Amino acid sequence: MRIERASTRVFVNTGVQYVRSILSAGILLYTSRLILAELGVDDFGLYSLIAGVIALLSFIKDSLASTIQRFLSFYQGKNDLSKQCDILSNSLVITLLISIGLVLLLFLCRKFVLTEFLNIDKSRVEAAYWVYNSMLFMLFFTMQSTSYFAVLIAHENIVYTSIIQMTDVILKLFISISLAYVGFDKLVYYACLIALVPLFDFVCYYIYCKKNYTECKRASVFKFKPYLFKELFVFTGWTVYSIGCIVGRTQGIAVLLNRFFGTALNASYGIAQQVIGQISFLSTSLINAMQPQIVKAEGAKDRNKMFQLSEMASKFSFLLFAWITIPSLFYMDRILQVWLGEIPDYAVSFCRYSLFGAWMDQFTMGLGVANRAIGKIKIYSIVTSTIKILTLPFAYLCLKMGMSAVSVMVCYVFFEIVCSLSRIVLLKIESGLSIMSFINNVFVYELIPVTVLLLIAYICSLLIPDQFFWVTYFIVGLFFILSIYCCGLTRTEKEMTVSFMHRLKVKLLQIF
């Protein structure tokens, strides 16, 4: 029954995130079009350039949120409210210190960044200062929201976070529309108003959490516990290392391609990264929805349930990614032609290899969450993240030996597979994961649906003209859902699915 309730919550939270992601993507695409039209190419580029420099630090915020949510969920599993209060109090201190430090450092460096580091037209330097200062304001309040956002995720309140995130997107749309009625510098106006959106988010998170969660009512920056501060800081440090290696690999590949082939291939690589970013939300939403449940199970000392949930997360994130990835591998050239018109050199190959590598990473993604739940993160982070960053020296050697640009992506795929498999070995050594259990519960149940998907996608690619490639996704989706239900679910998962669909049907009938 506990697994069934947990699974129902995961279904609901994942569905909410899918709806939010799709709506947000549509609105943001329209918003970008409005901003570009009103600001013009130069000012839009200036804003994007400065915002991009600040955004490089976003992985610190993500690392903090992930760490805080992990510890809160862990002690929720133990039903230890006092510890949750202490964790939140210390997290407030950490986020405050880091945000103040970052803002001061960036403020002191602003002259160098804007006049020496970045190439900005002298006539727009004053506007650039406004944009830069606005970005610092955004950074500060984005960091302050981190702890309260982590509280909501730990409580699995995905609905409220999605409402705030959608409101955030709508506010940005209204600000973009209002640009048409501004009579002074539109870039300065836009930067200043956009900077207020994170403040709005912070106020909403703060008020809601203080009103609804006991640990937030009791938490205070004055309830500082040095031993917890150290534990949180060390955990955050290893998380920063992990995410930093991923960011470093992504940017490092771009630098290698630029040095050996020029900017033309950077465009192709950038397109591949955009494709990955758009598709990844399918599996990311599922992992985000399941993560609190996995950590709570470990906190409750129910390791069997924890491994069961992490295996489910690995299986379903892999299958969800497969549904989009496999048809895309067959129709990538047509997809890019519809999207871009003119396809840059190597763009199709880069997209295919990037998708395949990311798909292989999903095979054991749930085990990464299991490792964070257990808390033995040091060795795991060193091994898995170092494997990922090894892509760069091997890619450099390939290019130095005169191989084509595709060799870089081959290295990327190879090390993604090695990293994915290394998680199984690490969890076996660190926490007693049964390798045979993982194979039986994950790999065996993935094999038939993926095989069916490959066959159907291949047959469709032969029979359906390229201009109707979207039909393939529909046909593949139908067969894929059927094959997953028949061959990809355990008996327990089938019972939970039927039960959930029945309850959903009853609720919909009550509404309509």
Phi, psi of 385 (to 5 degrees): -70, -35
State residue 507's pLDDT score.
58
Q: Check if the beta carbon of residue 297 is closer than 8 Å to that of residue 348.
A: no
Which of the two residues, 512 and 27, has the higher pLDDT score? 27
Average pLDDT over residues 487-502: 73
Query: Residue 263: pLDDT band by 50, 70, 90 thresholds?
Result: low
Residue 220 pLDDT class (50, 70, 90 cuts):
confident
CA distance 348 to 341: 13
| Contact indicator for 124, 186 with CB cutoff of 8 Å | no
Structure-block tokens of residue 216: 């937030």
Q: Which of 161-170, 248-257, 286-295 has the highest mean pLDDT?
A: 161-170
Has residue 447 got a pLDDT over 70? Answer: yes
Residue 3 or 95, more confident: 95
Predicted confidence (pLDDT) at residue 3 exceeds the cutoff of 70: no
Return the ∠ at Cα 237 (arms to 234 and 240), rounded to 5°.
155
For residue 356, the model assigns a pLDDT of 92
Q: Give the C-alpha separation, 11 to 290, whole Å.
A: 9
Confidence of residue 505 (pLDDT cuts 50, 70, 90): low
Output the average pLDDT for the chain.
Answer: 83
* CB-neighbour burial class of residue 289 (10 A; exposed 0-12, middle 13-18, buried 19+): buried
**Please, are residues 374 and 311 in contact by the beta-carbon 8 Å criterion?**
no
* Residue-level pLDDT at 421: 94
Most confident of 1-5, 277-281, 321-325, 334-338: 321-325
pLDDT reported for residue 52: 66
pLDDT given for residue 425 in this prediction: 93
CA dist., res. 320 & res. 338, Å (int): 24
Model pLDDT, residue 6: 59
* pLDDT given at position 55: 65
> Which residue would you say has higher pLDDT here, 142 or 114?
142
Cα–Cα dist 117/434, whole Å: 52
Are the beta carbons of 241 and 60 closer than 8 angstroms?
Answer: no
Q: Cβ(246)–Cβ(388) under 8 Å? A: yes
Nearest Cα neighbor of 227 from 217, 235, 218, 219 is 235
Lowest model confidence (mean pLDDT) among 184-193, 197-206, 280-289: 280-289
